[in-house]
């Protein structure tokens, strides 16, 4: 089995992800307003986490959070700890940046993701969103840093 390595994404990686994984994944990658980290098996991208910096609103004093815009691991590489490692790398980067918390959204149909968030120490808050007017049930997950 090829060992997994982790690297920061750049524009060249975003273009490759767009070609190989689709433009939706590429659009969710953050380079200037956050960061993106790839998990690689050799030179093959098998996992991705992208985090955007967000300011939390008043009445809080100036506070930034790290919001996970996308986390994805290719099916053949799941259940190997890659997503957990990507989250931990993101948390470490967010702490260095001074972020208060690491947060994400997971729809309820992501039946493998919900237990992962809990196992990684995230609080879960049930919520319903309405993107494009369609009801989507799920959870906001957050972990103070």
DSSP, residue by residue, 9-55: --HHHHHHHHHHH-HHHHHT--SSSEEEEEEEETTEEEEEEEEEEEE
Residue with tokens 């910096």: 53
| Residue ranges making up the domain that contains 80 | 4-144
In whole angstroms, give the CA distance from residue 16 to residue 23.
Answer: 10
pLDDT, average across residues 31-54: 97
pTM (two decimals): 0.93
Q: Rounded to whole angstroms, how far apart are CA atoms 95 and 122?
A: 15
Q: What is the domain count for the chain?
A: 1
Q: Read off the pLDDT band of 142 (50, 70, 90).
A: very high
Where does the pLDDT of residue 138 fall: very low under 50, low under 70, confident under 90, or very high at 90 and above?
Answer: very high
Confidence of residue 5 (pLDDT cuts 50, 70, 90): very high
Q: Which helix (H) or strand (E) holds 72?
A: strand 63-73
Residue 31: phi and psi, rounded to 5, are -120, -45
Share of the chain above pLDDT 90, in %: 92
- Per-residue pLDDT at 111 exceeds 90: no
CATH of the domain at 132: 3.40.630.30
Q: What is the pLDDT of residue 112?
A: 85
If one counts every other C-beta atom within 10 angstroms of the C-beta of residue 69, the result is 19
Burial class (CB in 10 A: 0-12, 13-18, 19+), 60: exposed
């Amino acid at each position: 089995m090829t060992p997994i390595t982790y690297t920061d994404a750049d524009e060249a990686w975003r273009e490759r992800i767009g070609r190989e994984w689709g433009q939706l994944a590429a659009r969710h990658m953050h380079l200037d307003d956050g960061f993106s980290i790839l998990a690689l098996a050799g030179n093959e991208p098998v996992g991705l986490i992208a985090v955007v910096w967000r300011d939390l609103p008043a009445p809080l004093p100036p506070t930034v959070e790290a919001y996970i815009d996308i986390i994805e691991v290719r099916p053949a590489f799941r259940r190997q700890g890659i997503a957990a490692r990507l989250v931990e790398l993101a948390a470490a980067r967010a702490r260095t940046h001074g972020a208060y918390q690491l947060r994400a959204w997971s729809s309820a149909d992501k039946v493998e993701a919900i237990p992962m968030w809990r196992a990684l120490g995230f609080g879960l808050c049930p919520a319903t969103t309405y993107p494009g007017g369609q009801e989507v049930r799920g959870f906001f997950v957050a972990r103070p840093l």
